[in-house]
Amino acid sequence: MEQHRPLQGVKVVELSLMVAAASCGRMMADWGADVIKVENTKGGDNFRKWPLGIGAPADDDFDPLFDNLNANKRAISLDTKTPEGRDVMYRLLAEADVFLTNLRTEALRKSGLDYDTLRARFPRLVMAQLDGYGEKGEEAPRPGYDNTAFWARGGFLYSQAVYGDSPDTYPVYMPMGFGDVTCAMGLMAATVSAVLSARATGQGDRVSLSLYGTAIWLANILVSGSQFGFTLPKRRETSSPFGAPYKCSDGRWFMPQIVNFARDAETFYRIMGVEDMIGDPRYATRARFNDPAVCGPVIQRLEGIFATRTPEEWKALFDAEDLCCEILYGYGDILKDPQALANDFIHHMEYPNGRTAELVRTSLRSQRMGLPEFRPGPMLGEHSREILAELGYGQEEIQAMLASGAVKQHD
């Protein structure tokens, strides 16, 4: 039986660089959309070679980090500065439901791919655009990556800094790609909604999402809370003792999470063997721990207690009481985590060249669809001939474009 694919029949033309828009295209391809990745003829998406910077492979036929973002797509390589290349791009868009991009508006305008131009030519087309800082304001044209527009401007890097007694403490480093992929998930939802509307009304749309705006939305509790005296960063002695990580006997870390203080604090005190805190008015409400004079000594006391057991031992005690908690993992731990493997969040990819790697699946699930196939991302220009033929070009025309350099086909 053919696999149910919720987005089957939706055609997406993706013109993107790096992570954000490519992640959105990956998720749409997983769900059945025909996603055609358009790249230049001078090396294509610069994320193809970016993995080399962190020591990962980036070969034409073995590029696992690129494949995480581009699995299940097809690819065509065009020089859109040539008349032939522009013609191919417009033919692609004439048949598309979605034009997905993270190129800046001015660059799109120079190529005749801005929304006003496309709306006049293709009124049913949905344009989905990711940007750094939003559509308006003096800074709208600025370039923005997730480490700048999302993590730095969005408040996280400074607000999560850990300041101790050492004079050389500094803000935390950002986790690479998180902001991009978060934006991609939101953009996918907006894009699919716009496609449904376009098919019902015959009118396309432009949907957009910015890294900076998404960071503000994700931090809505903290941003709004800042006007009422809740400030970050925090020192250890001003952090909640009920949601702080603690070093355990083997050097690894464990984190309790007591959210319903009135219900669970007494159980927490008993697990920790600090029954003397039960009934003490200094520790009777969560708000009391906002006072460093109360919080600091408790943190120090709990640090000593947590250091007497391993994270697994603490997790067993908390699980027995149905209290929320977690052991702190490194990213490498996830590759062999039984829970990640049981849910197919990690995929063992066997490449045609015989090499293997552990890749990552999206966590979006559909019961009717089941687990989507996982094809490696396309090589640069891998499907150029195939796509040109689908667009109605004859073999002589295709050969002429290949010979002129307007189009590139991977050998």
Active site members: 180
What one-character DSSP code corresponds to residue 101?
A: E
Residues 6+ apart with CB under 8 A from 316: none
Region of 55 on the Ramachandran plot (φ > 0 left; ψ -120 to 50 alpha; else beta):
left
Are the C-beta atoms of residues 24 and 343 closer than 8 Å to each other? no
| Long-range pairs, 322-327, Cβ under 8 A, ≥24 | 323/256, 323/257, 323/258, 323/264, 323/267, 323/268, 323/271, 324/256, 324/257, 324/258, 324/259, 325/254, 325/255, 325/256, 325/257, 326/254, 326/255, 326/257, 327/252, 327/253, 327/254, 327/255
Residues 6+ apart with CB under 8 A from 274: 301, 302, 305
- Which neighbouring-strand residues pair with 62? 59
Q: Where are the alpha helices (DSSP H) in 2-103?
A: 20-30, 64-70, 83-94
Distance CA 65, CA 349 (A): 12
Distance CA 183, CA 218 (A): 10
Burial of 375 (0-12, 13-18, 19+ CB in 10 A): middle
Q: What share of the chain is helix, strand, coil (3-state, %, to 5)?
A: 45, 15, 45
Distance CA 209, CA 211 (A): 7
Are the C-beta atoms of residues 127 and 204 closer than 8 Å to each other? yes
Query: What DSSP letter does each residue of 245-274 carry, written as one string?
Result: -EE-TTS-EEEE----HHHHHHHHHHHTT-
